[in-house]
Amino acid sequence: MTVLCFFLVFMNVDLFLKTGHCAETRDQILSITPKTQEQVDLLKNVSTQYETSLWQPVSPQYIREEAQVHLFVPANSSETVKDLLQRHAITHEVLLANANELVEMQMRNDSTDPRSSSTFYERYHSLEDIYDWINRTTHDNPNTVKAILVGSSYEKRPLYALKLSLNDRPNKKAMWIDCGIHAREWISPAFCLWFVHYSLSFYKQNADITHILDNMDVYVLPVMNPDGYKYTWTTNRMWRKNRSLSKRSACIGVDLNRNFDANWCTEGASHDPCTEIYCGAFPESEPESQAVADFLRSHKDSVQLYLTIHSYSQMLLFPYSCRLDEAENHSDLLEMTQEAAQQIKRYYRNIYKHGAGAKTIYLAPGGSDDWAYILGIKYAFTFELQDLGRYGFLLPPSRISRACNEALLAVKVIAQRVLEKT
Ligand code: ARG
Ligand code: ZN
């Protein structure tokens, strides 16, 4: 079979790929639901021993009976992995038979490709393009947009936050939005770009965004993890962490969303640099998290609302994620996310879960939202954008507009409520 496959691929015989034969020559996403503890253990093994990438849950320790596992299996491990599953009578469903094609589609759409008819904001962009976009946006809007250098990454790339200030009333409040903490979540930077573009285009056109921008400045950090993002474009599309080297291990990268000082590195994070949820050597050990923390510390009197954008799983989360008990304004936060989720359902017929992080997904200490909350920013949220796993991190460009509009609606609802309360 394998020999035949290589031949067919070599001959460019598309049909075989489309019909699902020859799957071994393509990267795939499998959905697997373990039924017994033995199957759970085997899956944990597969996801750590083989060259695969776990999409869901975030770390093998969370694999449990009757819960769906989404696993990215590169072509060269496909046969081995499927054999193993078969031998243990574990059934799987192929979510994506040809992930390579999707990856190509997402990158092809970059810059001025004439093959792409969609607009700039309905495509994914390379890091270089995003830096260019930052330049252009500040240049074209000299009175309303400023780029603030908030720090630099481990590999010394600049971290620019855009400050949108559409109205020069004194003593305005502010909100902060960061995108791209996790490298492979491409819809997240796309959302930050979308949000800036929407704000600049619809100020004085749309009543909601006008009201928000009249009363708040907005800081937008489009790519908090530029080294990781770059790496997903050049080398490994499934990379999550930043790219910092560890003193004690050959494994690279810290999970920036476990690196903040909020019950740092307790249950739900790991001291092992080889895991996807490595918390780093100490809180704010990473220049990226330190930059954001420094900026928020020095602006905490004006910043009333903190938002951080992730994907995937369609959730609107709020503190705490680092402990099980309720935040002091839990019912406010719950009400806001409930209203946002209702609006999304009403306008887009899409379901978003909502609630405190620890109870809605899992304990995840060291997250930026909890840290901002503990700092005193009482409205702090993590959005997990589309989808539910059909495409996962490989959400096609054609879905960007829907995904961003849903999230935009949630931002509007929540920002309006924050304005009423403060
Ligand atoms: N999927 C996100 C992560 O694993 C969830 C973040 C929720 N918030 C948090 N503070 N952990 O990082
Ligand atoms: Zn994430």
Please say if the pLDDT value at position 382 is more than 60.
yes
Could you read off the pLDDT of 335-361 as tens digits, one per residue? 999 999 999 999 999 999 999 999 999
Could you tell me the distance, in angstroms and rounded to a whole number, from the CA of residue 75 to the centre of ligand 2? 25
Could you tell me the distance, in angstroms and rounded to a whole number, from the CA of residue 257 to the centre of ligand 1? 6
CA distance readout (Å), 52 to 77, 272, 274, 393: 7, 18, 14, 15
Phi, psi of 259 (to 5 degrees): -100, 0
Q: Say which ligand is closest to the CA of 368.
A: 1
More confident residue, 108 or 13: 108
Per-residue confidence (pLDDT) for residue 117, from 0 to 100: 54
Calpha distance 232→342 (Å, rounded): 34
How long is the chain? 422
Could you read off the pLDDT of 391-419 as tens digits, one per residue? 999 999 999 999 999 999 999 999 999 99
Predicted TM-score (pTM) of this structure: 0.92
Per-residue confidence (pLDDT) for residue 25, from 0 to 100: 80
Q: Calculate mean pLDDT across residues 44-64.
A: 92
Q: Closest ligand 1 atom, CA of 366? A: 10
Per-residue confidence (pLDDT) for residue 24, from 0 to 100: 62
Question: Is residue 209 classed as helix, strand or coil in its secondary structure?
Answer: helix
* DSSP secondary structure of 286-352: SHHHHHHHHHHHHTTTTEEEEEEEEESS-EEEES-SSSSSPPTTHHHHHHHHHHHHHHHHHHH----
Find how far residue 120's CA is from the centre of its chain. 20
Beta strands in 85-192 (DSSP E): 92-96, 145-152, 158-164, 173-179
Q: Calculate mean pLDDT across residues 379-394.
A: 97
Q: What is the DSSP letter of 258?
A: G
Per-residue confidence (pLDDT) for residue 49, from 0 to 100: 85
Q: Calculate mean pLDDT across residues 353-372.
A: 97
Whether 128 is catalytic is: no
Cβ of residue 369 lying under 6 Å from some atom of ligand 1: yes
Cβ of residue 360 lying under 6 Å from some atom of ligand 1: no
* DSSP secondary structure of 311-328: ESS-EEEES-SSSSSPPT
Calpha distance 267→230 (Å, rounded): 30
Kind of pairing between the strands at 28-32 and 92-96: antiparallel
Of the listed 284, 288, 384, 406, which one is catalytic?
Answer: 384
Could you tell me the two tokens for 131? 């830096």
Per-residue confidence (pLDDT) for residue 257, from 0 to 100: 98
Q: Closest ligand 1 atom, CA of 313? A: 1
Per-residue confidence (pLDDT) for residue 408, from 0 to 100: 98
Amino acid of residue 124: Y
Cβ of residue 382 lying under 6 Å from some atom of ligand 1: yes
Question: Is residue 4 classed as helix, strand or coil in its secondary structure?
Answer: helix
Nearest alpha carbon to residue 92 among 100, 101, 84, 102: 84
Please say if the pLDDT value at position 29 is more than 60.
yes
Per-residue confidence (pLDDT) for residue 12, from 0 to 100: 43
Could you read off the pLDDT of 222-242 as tens digits, one per residue? 999 999 999 999 999 999 999
Is the alpha carbon torsion for 351, 370, 380, 123 positive or negative?
negative
User: How many CB atoms within 10 Å of residue 371?
Assistant: 28
Using 50, 70 and 90 to split pLDDT, how confident is the model at 108? confident
Q: Calculate mean pLDDT across residues 121-142.
A: 97
Question: Is residue 72 classed as helix, strand or coil in its secondary structure?
Answer: strand
* DSSP secondary structure of 16-48: HHHTTTTGGGS-EEEEE---SHHHHHHHHHHHH
Please say if the pLDDT value at position 211 is more than 50.
yes
Could you read off the pLDDT of 156-208 as tens digits, one per residue? 999 999 999 999 998 899 999 999 999 999 999 999 999 999 999 999 999 99
Q: C-alpha dihedral over 232, 238, 241, 245, to 10 degrees?
A: -70
- Asked if 120 and 136 count as a contact pair (C-beta separation under 8 A), the reply is no
Could you tell me the distance, in angstroms and rounded to a whole number, from the CA of residue 143 to the centre of ligand 2? 33
Q: What is the mean pLDDT of the chain?
A: 92
Find how far residue 41's CA is from the centre of its chain. 27
Cβ of residue 262 lying under 6 Å from some atom of ligand 1: no
Spell out the residues 6+ positions from residue 20 whose beta carbon is closer than 8 angstroms to its own: 94, 97
Cβ of residue 364 lying under 6 Å from some atom of ligand 1: yes
Choice from 263, 309, 361 to test ligand 1 binding pocket (greatest atom count within 8 A of CB): 361
